[in-house]
Each structure stands twice: as C-alpha cells, then as structure tokens.
Structure 1
C-alpha cells in the first residue's frame, strides 16, 4: 500500500518533466543542422542568484518586474519553480551562406566582427540569424512539450538575461529560461503574486507605460490621445517622445554597477560547477 499527497511530490514530478523537455530541445529540427544547443535544469537554492540579478533589473524594466515578483514570491512560499536554461552558440557562422541577414556581406566578415565585439545573445551582437532560428525552434519545442505535460510554463528573456550575466552554460553565448511550475493555473500569465504586490492604479499605469498602443485613440491626426481614464476626453492626454537622461542614468548604473556586483559575488560558485563536470 502507498499514499501520496499531490503537492508533496510535485517538485519531483516537475523535475522529471523537465528532463523530458530537455530531450525535446535536443530533438528539435534545425535549418542548418550545425547549431550547438545545450540545456540545463535549475531549481531550489540555485535559483537565488538568478532572482538576485533580476531584482535591480526589475526596477528599470517593468516587464522584468512582473517575472521577478512572480518567481521570487513562488520561491519564498516554498513553491520553487524549475528553470530550464536553453543555451545556443549563435555568435559564429560555419555556414558560408553569405546571406547578409546579420548585417554583413559575408559570413567571414560577420565572424571577424563577432570575434572582436563578442557577439551573440542578450549581451551583444550580431548573431547568425540562421542559428537564432534553430535556437528558436528548440525553444518552441520546449514550450510545446511543457504544455503537453500540463505543466504551467512561460519562456522568459528576463531569466535568460540573468542566466547569461551569471555565466550559466558558459560555452553558450545566448540563453533563455523556460520557467516551469508550480502546479497552479496560469501562474506566469495571471501573475497573482505580482498583482498582490501592486495597487490597481500602479498596475494600470504599468499597462499604459508598457503597452501604450492598447490605450491609443485614433492616431491619424498625428498627435494621438491616450484613453487612460474613464472620461479620457476631458481633458485629453497625449504621450510625448523624447530623450530621458534619468532613464539612461538608471540603465548605466544597472548594467555597469549593480548587476556586475551581484555577478562577482556568485561567479566562483557557478564557474566551479562547470569545471567540476569537465573533470
């Protein structure tokens, strides 16, 4: 006889599902047949540096705050998400197709530029577009596989940024995170945890700032009004376009001070993980 309570073993099950998703990632078709793709599964306390990097980024990028609040609150409640890091090598072309999609006339020119300026991924460029397509197909297969197993999931560039900055899968130069679980409906789309941390007015203003096209009146006049209130016409509101010195200062502080400080704190431990596996 045996007896199991569902929520007591869900994490083990999600980890097993993640292993099957990794199989799907490596089984995904490729256009080139030459793109190197790797994947790893991360959960529990190994999520902490990822969450820590996302924290300061969330103050600058609102959509990252949505991801950050959800993952952080789930983890703190003991409902650890499971992250699949899907990495690819996209900064070098061994195709010799000379298609020009990367912005260079030849693959040779692309490789020379990429080598000098550390191309690929979220932290630089350019990338070989054909290899990015291969990587994208692997990500698509991963997401489809997760839904086939009825595991709530969302693929997140925000998590990919943190993974890349921290040096996960160091042989890859592009990363994205597929976040799985916990076992509730639409965790990463309804974002219950995020909404609990924000007032209605803050949430509404976020939507206006992040997806302004959803609030736009007829734009044909050249200065479109924005419907941000019930009586949006009295008086009408207009959204301006211009350079923001404040925003640029925040970006620079984030990229050159706050994130590197966190990365340095965790670098040795993360680097050791891959060195140990190569022995």
Structure 2
C-alpha cells in the first residue's frame, strides 16, 4: 500500500494552478505575468534567503514563513514582468503612460514604478490560481516574503514576485502559526 499518495500529485496541481493564472483576464488581453514551479533545491535556497532576511526587525515573519516553505510539498512563483503600461493614463503609478517607462527604477524589495493596472492583473491571476488549489483541497498561502527572497536570488525576471507554497497534510500548516 502506498502511503500519502496525494502528495505525489502536487506538481500536477501546481501546473493546473498555473494554467488558471495564464488564462485569467488581463487588461487589453496583454499578458505580462510570469509563473514557475520551484525545484526542491530552489525551495531550500529561498527558505535560507528568507531566514537571512528575517534578521531585520521589520521582517521577523520571514523566518516563520521560511519554515512553512520547508514544510510545504510544493512552491509556485508568480510575478509581474512589467514592460509597458496599459495606456489609460490613470495616474495611479504617479506618472502618465507616456512617462512611466522613462522614470528611474527604484529597487527596494520590489522594483518600480510599475503600471498599477498591470499589478491588478497580477492580483487577478493570483486569485485565479489559488481558487484552483481551494477547489482541489490543497492548502496554500500567498506570501510576499517568498517573493522577496526569490527576487533577491534572481529566480524570476519580474519587478513583483509572490510565492505560494502548497501543502497536503491533515492540518493546514499556514494557519495557527506562532505569532511573531
């Protein structure tokens, strides 16, 4: 008898989730979303980077999140590789669509400025992919901390990255976590 065979399908679930992100609606039908499934070696590198970043007073929660990454059976990255604004001149980014690309890039943990409408596209794609996990009964959590570490490691060409660890256990590992 095979024990815990459900853990073997995590990669399939992750791929289905990425399909949902790819087909999620995007402004003007232009897709600047990038996705990937992290290898076990990359997952460990991300967890180590998160622990290092967790030394900062403001980022103590990165250490807790690093343990979640290690305990998860899978890890997805999703990001925004911003190349051009949508062209509606909403001004939310602080510029107009004709000048945003001429601005100096500010690198902190993410890079900006980026088109806010493109960032909304990212949010819609994230919502689409986590809904697939929910429907399939796979526990997950959208994590800023994972994305920051992945970006520092250069794992994805994107100004904004989020990580979504995936877990199949008897109890959801992403809730009832120790307070920081």
User: TM-score higher than 0.5 here?
Assistant: yes
Unpaired runs of 5+ residues, structure 2, are none
Q: 1:117 aligns with which of 97, 105, 114?
A: 105
Bigger RCO of structures 1 and 2 (CA < 8 A, at least 6 apart): 2
Corresponding residue number in structure 2 for 1:89:
81
Per the TM alignment, residue 166 of structure 1 is displaced from its structure 2 partner at its CA by 0.9
Structure 1 or 2: larger helix share?
A: 1
State TM-score, norm by structure 1: 0.59
Normalising by structure 2, report the TM-score.
0.89
Aligned residue for 2:145? 158
> Who is 2:64 aligned against?
66
Task: Indicate the residue corresponding to 1:10 in structure 2.
Answer: 6
Cα RMSD after superposing both structures? 2.0
Structure exhibiting the larger radius of gyration computed from Cα positions: 1
Q: Show CA shifts across 1:92-140 (max 9, x none).
A: 31x3222111111x21211100xx3257x94222110000000100000
- Given that residues 22 and 125 in structure 2 are in contact (C-alpha distance below 8 angstroms), is that contact kept between their aligned partners in structure 1? yes
**Match of 1:189, SS?**
coil
**Could you tell me which of 9, 17, 23 is aligned with 2:19?**
23
Q: Any idea what SS the aligned residue of 1:108 has?
A: coil
Q: Which residue does 1:54 correspond to in 2?
A: 50
Pairwise CA distance, 1:45: 2.5
Structure 1 counterpart of 2:169: 183
Partner SS, residue 175 of structure 2:
helix
Structure 1 runs, 4 residues or longer, greater than 3 Å off: none
Provide, for residues 63-104 of structure 1, a one-character-per-residue CA deviation record: whole Å limited to 9, x for no partner: 2222123333x2xxxxx53111112223631x3222111111
Does the 8 Å contact 2:140/2:165 carry over to 1? yes
In structure 1, the residue matched to 2:129 is: 142
Label 1:59 to 1:91 Cα distance change in 2 as closer, same or farther (>3 A).
farther
1:131 to 100, 118, 126: 118
* Paired residues, number: 178
